[in-house]
Amino acid sequence: MSSAYLAVELDGAGRHPAAWRLFDARPGELFTAGYWTELAQLADGAGLDFLAIPDSFVPPTEGQAGLVRGRLDAVAIAARVAPLTRTVGLVPTATVTHTEPFHLSKAIATLDFVSLGRAGWQPEVSRTRDEADLFGRKAWSDGPAPADPLWRELADAVEVVVRLWDSWEDDAVIRDQATGRYVDRDKLHYIDFAGEFFSVKGPSITPRSPQAHPPVVLRADEPEALPVVGRWAQVVRIAAPDLAAASAARARVRDAVAAAGRDPDEVAVLLDVETLLADTTDQAQATLAQLDGWAGAGGFALRTHTQRAATAEVIGTPAALADLIEDAVRGRAADGVTLVPLALPSGLRFIADRLVPLLAERELRSAADGGPLRIGAQSKAAADHPATLRDRFGLVRPANYFTEARA
């Protein structure tokens, strides 16, 4: 039987711009630790594979009235909820275009330590002149930046981050009280990276973390992303309006992975699915109509705003969503889904309380704890040593580049 990976994206009050106005929303708590902790613990208890936490350097576009303006830092949110969750993976977005990879390597490695090996990261690019002006370090023409150099820079950034993670060997920390040596300096390495966009000597100041390389989650929404996805991604998110388009997108990803000399079966492809769930389809549709009415003449236009392809959606019941997930996974259109609730926290409660049990009944998730079938049998026996995020995706802990080079 095929099992389905199940992730959820948590974005404030939900992806719909007017979701904060719903009667069960909590707009006064969106910038509190308690709100995010409650959501993360709900997902944790449901056995979800990971939480995707989006981020951006700019708030919603000026002139769009009625939107929540401002957001918390995604990596900081993940670090805050990590000690208060047990099994769920934590995958914050980290925009690399204006951020030094040295800082990102340290931040994600730290998240891996505080989560005991449940960290991942989703590198993304920054396209707009407004975002560039916030930093003032790059000359930027009017209009969006072209995709090709942005993705080449992202590839350089990921490589620097991974090399910095390897700049400490696993046994570099020796804590030898007799000699007063905390680290074996022979096991710390300069990375001496010189690429198109970065020149980084290293080494890192953070020891190698529990997973060594927290999984890289990348989007594959545009052709320029595919070579980078093929080389670096362990998990790939795709957007597609239907399962036929998702199947074609998954095939493109697998071809890119194979072209990079990697095994496509070791890379999971997850379909984004926007959801608005209710007891009946009519109730869900009525809620969406209310939200669109609040959003104004433009309605729900975030797909255009985020410059992504049209995304699959289920506006209806948990059973309808379970049908779509089953069809996607059994039909090889995707290896699982990243659910994107239009409204929170209600959307996550429907997923945890109603959808996960339905997927377990269909043998798409473990009946024991909602986790993937491939690790569900281990979960109780390994209660004191929860699976890492790499474990959940069947990924071995990578060897150290410098150790292999010496061998």
Domains along the chain with CATH numbers: 5-144+207-406 (3.20.20.30)
What is the pLDDT at residue 300? 56
254-289 pLDDT per residue, tens: 999 999 999 999 999 999 999 999 999 999 999 999
CB atoms within 10 A of CB 293: 10
What is the pLDDT of the chain when averaged over all its residues? 90
Residue with tokens 């049990």: 357
Residue 299 pLDDT grade (very low, low, confident, very high; cuts 50, 70, 90): low
d(CA 237, CA 247): 13
Give buried/exposed letters for 236-247 (b at 16+ CB in 10 A, else e): bbbbbeebebbb
The three-state secondary structure class of 180 is: coil
327-377 pLDDT per residue, tens: 999 999 999 999 999 999 999 999 999 999 999 999 999 755 444 444 333
d(CA 59, CA 61): 6
Give buried/exposed letters for 198-210 (b at 16+ CB in 10 A, else e): eebebbbebbbbb
Please state whether 298 falls in left (phi above 0), alpha (psi between -120 and 50) or beta: alpha
Q: Which uninterrupted H or E stretch holds 287? A: helix 281-295
Widest distance between CA atoms in the chain = 72
- Interval 157-183 mean pLDDT: 95
d(CA 122, CA 93): 5
- Interval 209-227 mean pLDDT: 97
Model confidence, pTM: 0.92
Residue 310 pLDDT grade (very low, low, confident, very high; cuts 50, 70, 90): confident
Please state whether 219 falls in left (phi above 0), alpha (psi between -120 and 50) or beta: beta
AA identity, residue 127: R
The three-state secondary structure class of 48 is: coil
Distances from the Cα of 218 to the Cαs of 141, 222, 246, 268, in angstroms?
Answer: 26, 11, 16, 11
